[in-house]
Structure formats: structure tokens, C-alpha cells
Amino acid sequence: MNHQPPIFNSGVELASSVVDSELLYQSWSSICNLYTEVNSHPHQQSPSPATFKIFKQHNLTIIAFVTSPIYTPQHLQQQGGQDLMTSATLKAQNFPHLDFLCSRGNPSFSIHSDAVSSFVRLFNDIKASPVQFLVSRDDEIVLESPLIVTGHALGGSIASLFTLWLLDGMSQLPSKKPSKKLPLCITFGSPLIGDSGLHRGISQRSTWKSSFLHVVSSHDFLPRLLMTASNYKPFGTFMLCSEMDSTCVEDPDVASMLFRKGIELAHLGSGEGLPVEHYGLMVEHLKRRDLCKGSSDLGWPVADSLQAGIILLLDSIGIARNQHQHPSVTDLASQLYRKERLSVLSKRNAMDPSRKLNDIKIKMAFLEWYKKDCKNKGVGYYDSYKNPRATSDMDIAKHKKYLTNYWKEMVEEAESHPQKEGAYVRMTWLYAGNTYRKMVEPLDIAEYYRKTENRDYMKVKQGRSKHYILLEKWWKEDCESHHPMDLLSKKRNVDGNFTEDSCFWAHVEEARFSCGLIKDFGRFGGGNEEEKRLSEGYLLWFERYVMEQIGNYALNPEVFVAESSFMKWWAEFHGIVGSGHRSELAEFMRKGTFHKYGSDTVTNTPQRDELMFNMTPGNFDGKNVSMFGSCSHQ
């Protein structure tokens, strides 16, 4: 019997680790020092002028943000502080420095207007700050020392925006590999800063969410206030603290549920906000407290490890203790249980990279087997799939569909948020994507040309998929130029390699169509003279193209099996031009040299006409073609 491992909620343990790390204490100390400096200049009377300072410590750099006077719930309510500023407005105001949060899948976002306005006012002062933290070491851009970005109240919101800008800046730096050392943003009592568009923009970068820790006291109304506004959405990890204990919550929906329930049960008023000393005392309290308790004394029935964790979570933020019979608390516990269970199972299954990669390898193995099975039957896998006869031909379509869906998602994700110019996917995935393209695109071409009326696979909208185009483009830009395979290696491995141009069979199909058009023109007379010239030009280009592939050992020998589409094309073409036609390909085919293709007995092909060598089917206009001038059109 297959038993699923138990599900746990580890929020309390994570919070304990944070407290033990001393990061909270060091961050708050820097904030307090900055407040002391700011308060020594009482002439600053603006409602929320923001300021920052860099603190260098031993093996640690902290940059702190605060406002003076302290931003309170009263500020938020009286000044319309729930307003959001859209990314379009920011761009119109000539502030494009957060545009990286937009992508094809996330065209817009909105940010808390007070937070982004304060960030904009500070930007000229802080935009040079990253150079103080970054150094180049072994061709890798890294942080000189661990960097903490911190802030209190609205200062924490500004710290979050600064961290996002810094993360994007680090990803754009010219480096052979991304820095493993990212900044950590720790905020204290800060309001939410954006909508679901901002959340999506951050979530698209898999490592960015882990760079944010938001500390919230059970007595602080300010960070909860915007939770009641449906257009705001949290991101990052929230550390919720009470006199009892603290816990960490990563799921944004769980954080929202806990914040709203905390407001309902604690009956917190808007007030003037908490004194600045509150979070300092809370940090000291957490440092002293022994985190040693169980769930048996809470009066709750415990069914499994996840339920025990939910009870500890609620108790640690002052909700569960002495309230376990309250219907709304019981309902909250049930909702959290279901939400956490679905979240954990989702991460284990669909989001497990190793499992996903293993599935991909299995599907690719099926296609490898199919290719070899077709070879043993004396037919290429392209033609076998185009003209399905056996069950295996139809079964392979399921594996092809799974692989295509996976790589379309991968390419869309990589395109929507490249880490830096030219580095769209990691090298491992780039190799895998290139192998997939060369193996699977010929099957898509086969499906496309099953319908005899289909033409121009590489030009029409319903033809070649964009993800193939991008995978090929990225491969050529990021891999081929740095790791070219020498001709001898390609020659030795030609039988095991895939045909390099994944669109080779589309060119074959178009060449066959051109042959058919020319034959019909000669057989019936009349017809479109321009189409005839273009077809002749295409065939002339195709001959040169095939010899280029042969000369580079870029074709798999299955191209030359007796009943392949290519060999059928050659028979049709030879019937048109006759035995008097002279070309490199004609000599290669008539002498039977293709039987020895890839073996040591094949000599290098002679020098090719560079003009023809560089022609493409897209720019050949069919003019000045003489090779068909005297053909008999048999």
C-alpha cells in the first residue's frame, strides 16, 4: 500500500529559526539608530518624508528606511492612503524603473500610492547604492557581504520596493552565472504595497519571494488595514507575532485569512498606531522566550500532524488560546487546514521539479525507442508518423503532446521574465530544449503535411509554433557559438544524432510540392508562369541546402532510406531535370554515395558556389534560372 508522507505546518519552527539568527535584532537596531538621527532634526514637518542610511557591520550590511513622523493608520485613512498608482501612471510620470514587473503574462500592476511616491522621491539618492554592496569575483557579480534591507511602517514598504529594484538590477548585471547571495528584506509593521499584478510580477521570479520577511505584531493595526481592501495582495513570508509566540506564513491567502480574523477577534481600533518601541520590545521578548510547547494543553482535538501545526500557528499569534470553542475560530482552523493541505500536496506533486524532469525524460525515452523501432523496420520516424500504420505511431502522439505542452510553458515563462539579456533558460534546460525541438518538431511537420492542401509550414500562422522558433534562436545565441561541435565528431556520431535543422522535412515537403507544380505545368500547359519560376528557384535552393547539410554531417541517415519522403522527392526531381542535370547533389545521389553517408569512406564535398550557398528560400526570386530551361517535364 502506497502511504503518503505526513503533512506538517512548519511556521512556528521557521519563526524560531529567524529569532535565533539575530537578524531581527540587528535590523531593528539599525531602524532605531536611524530614528534617533531623524528625531534630532525636528524641523522636518512633512507628513511622511522618507530617509535611509547604510550601516556597515562585521560581515553584514544593513540599509534601513524610515519616515518621520512615523506613518500610522490615521495617516492611511485620513489621506486616502488606500489609493493605488498604476504602472501606466508611473510610466507616464517618466518613472520606468519598476517596468520589469510587467511581462506578456502580466501586462500591468498597481502599487500603494504613498509607498511608491516616497520611493520615487528617494530614488535619485538611492539609485547609486547597489554599487556599494556589489563586487566582481571570478567573473561573478556577488554581494560584498550579506545585505539586509529593512524598514518600519511606510519605511518598510519603501524597503520592499528598493529590494525589488535591486533584485532586478542584480539579474541584469553581466555575469556568467547569477549570484547565489541575494538581499533579504525585513519589514516591521508595514502596510501592503500592491495588487495581484505586483504579486504576479514577483512570483514569476522563483527566488524573489524568499527575499521578503514581513514582521507583524498582533497589536499592530497598520499592516492589517489594507487586508480589508480586495485589490491588495500580500507577497513574501509573514512573521506573525504575539505575547505567546510567533509563526511564519508563506501562502498569501493564509496570511490574509489570519490578518482579517485577527482584526475581528482583537477589536483593534485605528488609533494613532503603536509607539516605535513596540517592535523593539517584541524582538527582545522573542529572544528571551523559550520556544518549548506542545498542542496537548490547548484543548483542541488533534487528528494529525498538520492539524497540530495549525493549532500551534493560531496559538502563537494569540488567536487560539481560550477561543477554541468560538465558531469563527473553529471555522478558520478548518479553512487553514484545507488550504495548507492543498498547498503542500500541490508542491509535492505538480511543482516538484525533479518529478517533472523525470516525466520529461520518460517521454523522451519513448520517442527515442520509437525512432529506433522505425529504423529497424526500414522506415524513418518522420514518414512513419506522417503515414501511421501501427499502434505505436498513434500512441507516440500522447507523449508528443505532453512534451509540447511542457516546453511551451517553459518558453513562455522564460520569455516573460529573462534574468538578463540573452540568458533565457539555464544551460541544462537549453540543451534539453534543443534535443526536444530536433526530435519533436519533425512530428509536428508530419501532422501538418498530412493534409495535402497545407503549404508553407514555416510561414503561415497555423504552421510553426513560436516556442520552436525561440528555442532555436536561444540555442544558436547562447550555446552553438560557445560550444561548436567539430566536423569530425559530427561525422563519427551522425547515425546517433538528430537532423540538426528541425524544419528539414518541411523543406522536403515544399520541394515535393514544387516538383508537382512544375510537372503539372508541363503536362497541361498554361498555368501561372510566376509560380513556375518560383518553384524552379526553390528547387535550385533546396539542392544547395541539402548539400550544405550533407557537407556538415547535419542529416540523420534515415533521410536516405528507400521509401523516405526525401527519396521520393529525389525520384520526382530526377524525372523532371533528367540524367543530364549536373550538380553536387545529383552526383552524390547517382553514384550512390548516400549509402556510405557518415562513414569514413566519404570524402569532403567540393567547394560550393558561395552565392548559392547563402541563398534562402525566402529571398530567391526565381530569376535567371537556367537548369530547367531545356528539361522535358516527364
- pLDDT for the residue numbered 160: 96
Is pLDDT of 614 > 60? no
Q: By the 8 A CB rule, do 214 and 236 touch?
A: yes
Sign of the Cα torsion 452, 456, 461, 464 reads: positive
For residues 602-613, give the mean pLDDT: 40
C-alpha cell at 224: 492589517
446 to 393, 454, 464, 508, 557: CA distances (angstroms): 12, 11, 12, 11, 18
For residues 73-97, give the mean pLDDT: 81
Amino acid at 625: V
For residues 531-551, give the mean pLDDT: 91
HEC string for 578-620? CCCCCCHHHHHHHCCHHHHCCCCCCCCCCCCCHHHHCCCCCCC
Q: Quote the percentage of the chain above a pLDDT of 70.
A: 68
- pLDDT for the residue numbered 543: 94
**CATH number for the domain formed by residue range(s) 11-292:** 3.40.50
Is pLDDT of 525 > 80? no
Is pLDDT of 315 > 80? no
Is pLDDT of 385 > 80? yes
Q: What angle do CA 482, 486, 492 make, to 5 degrees?
A: 140
Place of cell 495588487: 195
The C-alpha atoms of residue 189 and residue 217 are separated, in whole angstroms, by: 7
3-state secondary structure of 215: strand
Q: By the 8 A CB rule, do 526 and 554 touch?
A: no
The C-alpha atoms of residue 335 and residue 416 are separated, in whole angstroms, by: 34
pLDDT digit string, tens, across residues 263-310: 555 555 545 678 888 999 888 888 776 444 444 344 445 555 566 666
Is pLDDT of 207 > 90? no
Between 451 and 304, the more confident residue is 451
- pLDDT for the residue numbered 151: 96
Is pLDDT of 591 > 70? yes
Average per-residue pLDDT for the chain: 76
Crossing angle of helices 11-20 and 305-316, in 10° steps, is 50
3-state secondary structure of 194: strand
Report the range out of 231-245, 247-261, 265-279, 524-538 with the highest average pLDDT.
231-245
Residue 488: pLDDT band by 50, 70, 90 thresholds? low
Least confident of 252-261, 262-271, 398-407, 624-633: 624-633
**Strands 84-86, 110-112: parallel, antiparallel or unpaired by DSSP?**
antiparallel
For residues 28-49, give the mean pLDDT: 77
Residue 445: pLDDT band by 50, 70, 90 thresholds? very high
Residue 333: pLDDT band by 50, 70, 90 thresholds? confident
Structural domain boundaries in the chain = 11-292, 352-406+430-476, 485-634
